[in-house]
């Protein structure tokens, strides 16, 4: 188990070096998929390596000339990395630009400064009341597939796509098992380690990640844990598109709380819900995006409330409260949050919101908020 | 009965409250924190002990709170200032449901349930606008003593808007208001209203439930208190010594923990 965790930490501590090395080792082209909803299976079936784009750790420098300071951390960090040449090992990019205002800027910035060999703009529907949006989504995914075929010069057969979906579904079920064990034995992994496990799966080929997960699960199943009953269970929600600063995760645990489950993008959202393998694989991918992918502020599902889902997750895990992590300048989350907060108040759920910014974070202030939250749910 | 202490190490001032076994305040101390929080906490405890005619060994339980709560060497435990201000305010005014605390470098609005415990809160943690430090810088820019700022508010005759909430930009704005011929009292009132506007936004997030207590050093500025009252359209309950509410709350929790230990 420790060996696997150490390999995972190695991958996530230097994603640039890891992905650049991967390209050399596998002799395959790398396609950067901007989070959150790109169906990576199609890229995989094209014989390419899809990796999910990440937020770097360095302050934004040259990138400020191309994106405004009120864009979110991953947007600014990604553009900064691109214009500084840090992403030169990537052969192409795919952007689902309907998910937020800032994602819409990328293709133009990239065309101007990076000129990738391959670039695809996906227009997946942001609202889906019926068949019209289903047809639209399917057409977009078909166009995505055609563009990859044009890029590689190879056709993507239904069989190869089904095989890729199988590998991705396997990854989803293994990740679900990791979470299942974590729910039963929350002390088994630190919150930071769980995030690293999910994140490494966004960087590594899924075949390799599946092997690591199988070994990890076996170690987790065998390991006996003494429950720390005095720890207060809390659920993490939000943090769309990007990694949460690990210091915050450590702080949560240092303050006597423990995270048995989450609703984070680099968390349970990424692997939730497998693709249905019966029938046409393209329709199945469209169906996952439209109906099965978890509720998200970037998509308009009006008959389900995000707050209800978060509260259910909290109660299912016997947790005492919810920590919302909002990325500063994330328009979808910011727009949804007042409604989310009202739902918490309506249901009497104790919730605290931590705002995370790429360069600046006052950990002392975050500590006071989290400690006050822990005191409130702990009855001090 | 056990004597306990609550020590609130704030960014500007350190406060200590000593309670007797019946929850009565025996003494309190307020001093500048300076740059050495550990030393400030020790000195403040010494001062409070001296005022109460006690010695170190007489304290059965010490609880640290505030920005520098981790620096209280004598502390048996630490609790955040949010919980402590709520507890202190609820003891002083049992009907309280909202606390507005403006301290040296941060402001908080705290919702309190019928049981006197925190239900929700918001705090600023990225900038010191509208806090005690902000007022100090503004007093310097106005060339008045910080204690005079509140009185100036009531002498104001003309409405002047101070729109910048960044401490540095607000200082430049004050200088330009002077240059345009505005009077000190009007500018001081403009500053108080700017703080009130900011607090109003935080109150909106927590939800206003009466009664409302204002604590922290800025509550000593009657102008700011009045400006906030005008904004939220209700009277504020201000303790006799608003600066020690956090330390008082810490001492109450210390007392509860002592009772729990003794059984």
Cβ <8 Å between A350 and B120: yes
Peptide bond into A366 cis (omega under 30): no
Place of tokens 């750790």: A57
Class at the top of the CATH hierarchy for domain B1-93+242-263: alpha beta
Q: B208-247 pLDDT, tens per residue?
A: 999 999 999 999 999 999 999 999 999 999 999 999 999 9
What tokens does B108 get? Answer: 């908080």
Beta A257-264 vs A232-238: how paired, if at all?
A: parallel
Q: Are A43 and A31 in contact (CB under 8 A)?
A: yes
Closest partner CB to B67 (pick from A345, A364, A375): A364
Quickly count: other Cβ atoms within 10 Å of residue A2's Cβ.
8
Q: Are A311 and A349 in contact (CB under 8 A)?
A: yes
Selected residue of A372, A374, A378 to mutate for chain B interface (largest B Cβ count, 10 A): A372
- Sheet of A30-33: strand order equals A49-52, A30-33, A92-96, A118-122
Q: Which residues in chain A are contacts of B106 at CB distance < 8 A?
A: 365
Q: Does B201 touch chain A (CB under 8 A)?
A: no
φ/ψ of B72, rounded to 5, equals -85, 100
pLDDT the model gives residue A379 = 84
pLDDT the model gives residue B263 = 60
The alpha carbon of residue A245 is apart from the nearest alpha carbon of chain B, in Å, by: 17
Q: Does B83 touch chain A (CB under 8 A)?
A: yes
Cβ <8 Å between B118 and A379: no
Q: Does B79 touch chain A (CB under 8 A)?
A: yes
Q: Which residues in chain B are contacts of A350 at CB distance < 8 A?
A: 119-120
- Convert A210-227 to b/e letters by CB count within 10 Å (16 or more is b): bebbeebbebbeeeeeee
Cβ <8 Å between A372 and B83: yes
Closest partner CB to A376 (pick from B106, B118, B123): B118
CATH code for the structural domain at A26-157: 3.40.50.11890
Cβ <8 Å between A365 and B207: no
The answer to which of B6-10, B110-114, B127-131 has the lowest mean pLDDT is B127-131
Q: Looking at chain B, which residues constitute the CATH 3.30.420.40 domain(s)?
A: 1-93+242-263, 96-238
Q: Which residues in chain A are contacts of B67 at CB distance < 8 A?
A: 364, 368
pLDDT the model gives residue A131 = 76
User: Three-state DSSP class for B137?
Assistant: helix
Domain B96-238 is classified in which CATH homologous superfamily?
A: ATPase, nucleotide binding domain (3.30.420.40)
Cβ <8 Å between A345 and B125: no
Q: Does A343 touch chain B (CB under 8 A)?
A: no
Closest partner CB to A368 (pick from B82, B120, B207): B82
Cβ <8 Å between A371 and B80: yes
User: Three-state DSSP class for B235?
Assistant: coil
pTM listed for this prediction:
0.91
User: What's the rounded mean pLDDT across residues B48-68?
Assistant: 96
Q: Which residues in chain A are contacts of B117 at CB distance < 8 A?
A: 376, 379
Residue B92 host element (H or E): helix B81-92
CB neighbour list of residue A273: distance below 8 Å, 6 or more residues apart:
A172, A288, A292, A293, A294
Residues 347-366 of A with CB under 8 A from B: 350-351, 360, 362, 364-366
User: What's the rounded mean pLDDT across residues B106-114?
Assistant: 93
Place of tokens 């002083």: B92
Q: Does B47 touch chain A (CB under 8 A)?
A: no
Q: A186-213 pLDDT, tens per residue?
A: 999 999 999 999 999 999 999 999 999 9
Residues in chain A with pLDDT values less than 70: 128-129, 360
Closest-approach residue (CA) in chain B for A360 = B126
pLDDT the model gives residue B1 = 61
d(CA B243, CA A46): 67
What tokens does B230 get? Answer: 């005008």
Place of tokens 């309907």: A98
Q: Mind spelling out the 3-state secondary structure of chain A?
A: CHHHHHHHHHHHHCHHHHHHHHHHHHCCCEEEECCCCCCHHHHHHCCCEEEECCCCCCCCCHHHHCCCCCCCHHHHHHHHHHHCCCCCCCCEEEEECCCCCCHHHHHHHHHHHCCCCEEEEECCCCECCCHHHHHHHHHHHHHHHHHHHHHHCCCCCHHHHHHHHHHHHHHHHHHHHHHHHHHHCHHHCCHHHHHHHHHHHHHCCHHHHHHHHHHHHHHHHHCCCCCCCCCEEEEEEECCCCCCCHHHHHHHHHCCEEEEEEEEHHHHHHHCCCCCCCCCHHHHHHHHHHHHCCCCCCCECCCCCHHHHHHHHHHHCCCCEEEEEEECCCHHHHHHHHHHHHHHHHCCCCEEEEEECCCCCCHHHHHHHHHHHHHHHCCC
> Is residue B125 very low, low, confident or very high in pLDDT (cuts 50, 70, 90)?
low
Closest-approach residue (CA) in chain B for A369 = B123
């Amino acid at each position: 188990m420790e060996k696997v965790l150490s390999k995972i930490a190695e991958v996530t501590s230097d994603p640039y070096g890891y992905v650049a090395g991967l390209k050399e080792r596998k002799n395959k082209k790398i396609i950067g998929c901007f989070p959150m909803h790109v169906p990576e299976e199609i890229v995989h079936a094209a014989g390419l390596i899809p990796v999910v784009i990440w937020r770097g750790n360095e302050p934004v420098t040259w990138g400020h000339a191309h994106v405004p300071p009120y864009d979110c951390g991953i947007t600014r960090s990604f553009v900064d990395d691109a214009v500084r040449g840090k992403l030169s090992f990537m052969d192409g990019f795919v952007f689902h630009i309907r998910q937020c205002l800032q994602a819409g800027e990328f293709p133009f910035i990239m065309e101007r400064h990076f000129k990738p060999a391959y670039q695809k703009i996906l227009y997946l529907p942001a609202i889906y009341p019926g068949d019209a949006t289903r047809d639209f989504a399917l057409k977009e995914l078909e166009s995505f597939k055609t563009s990859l075929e044009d890029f590689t010069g190879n056709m993507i057969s239904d069989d190869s796509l089904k095989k890729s979906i199988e590998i991705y579904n396997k990854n989803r079920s293994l990740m679900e098992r990791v979470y299942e064990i974590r729910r039963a034995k929350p002390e088994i992994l630190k919150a930071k380690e769980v995030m690293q496990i999910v994140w490494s799966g966004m960087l590594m080929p899924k075949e390799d990640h599946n092997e690591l997960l199988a070994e990890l699960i076996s170690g987790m199943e065998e390991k006996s844990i003494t429950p720390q009953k005095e720890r207060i269970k809390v659920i993490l929600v939000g943090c769309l598109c990007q990694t949460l600063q690990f210091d915050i995760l450590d702080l949560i645990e240092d303050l006597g709380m423990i995270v048995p489950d989450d609703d984070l993008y680099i968390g349970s959202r990424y692997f939730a819900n497998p693709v249905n393998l019966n029938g046409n694989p393209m329709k199945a991918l469209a169906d996952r995006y439209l109906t099965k992918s978890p509720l998200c502020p970037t998509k308009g599902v009006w008959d389900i409330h995000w707050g209800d889902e978060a509260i259910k997750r909290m109660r299912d895990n016997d947790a005492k409260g919810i920590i919302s992590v909002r990325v500063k300048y994330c328009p979808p989350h910011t727009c949804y949050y007042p409604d989310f907060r009202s739902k918490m108040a309506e249901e009497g759920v104790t919730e605290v919101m931590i705002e995370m910014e790429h360069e600046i974070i006052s950990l002392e202030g975050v500590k006071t908020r989290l400690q006050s939250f822990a005191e409130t749910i702990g009855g001090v | 009965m056990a004597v306990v202490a609550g020590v609130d190490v704030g960014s500007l001032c350190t406060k200590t409250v000593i309670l007797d076994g019946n929850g009565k305040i025996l003494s309190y101390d307020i001093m500048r924190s300076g740059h050495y929080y550990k030393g400030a906490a020790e000195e403040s405890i010494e001062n409070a002990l001296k005022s109460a005619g006690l010695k170190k060994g007489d304290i059965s339980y010490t609880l640290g709170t505030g920005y520098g709560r981790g620096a209280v060497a004598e502390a048996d435990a630490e609790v955040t200032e949010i919980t402590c201000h709520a507890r202190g305010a609820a003891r002083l005014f049992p009907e309280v449901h909202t606390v507005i605390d403006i301290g040296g470098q941060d402001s908080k609005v705290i919702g309190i349930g019928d049981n006197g415990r925190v239900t929700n809160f918001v705090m600023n943690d990225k900038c010191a606008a509208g806090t005690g430090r902000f007022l100090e810088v503004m007093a310097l820019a106005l060339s008045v003593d910080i204690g005079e700022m509140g009185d100036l508010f009531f002498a104001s005759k003309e409405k002047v808007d101070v729109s910048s909430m960044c401490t540095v930009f607000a200082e430049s704005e004050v200088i330009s208001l002077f240059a345009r011929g505005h009077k000190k009292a009007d500018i001081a009132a403009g500053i108080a209203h700017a703080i009130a506007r900011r607090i109003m936004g935080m109150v909106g997030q927590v939800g206003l439930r009466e009664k409302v207590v204002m604590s922290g050093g800025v509550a000593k500025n009657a102008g700011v208190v009045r400006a906030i009252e005008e904004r939220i359209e209700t009277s504020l309950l201000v303790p006799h010594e608003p600066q020690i509410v956090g330390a008082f709350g810490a001492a109450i929790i210390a007392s509860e923990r002592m009772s729990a230990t003794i059984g």
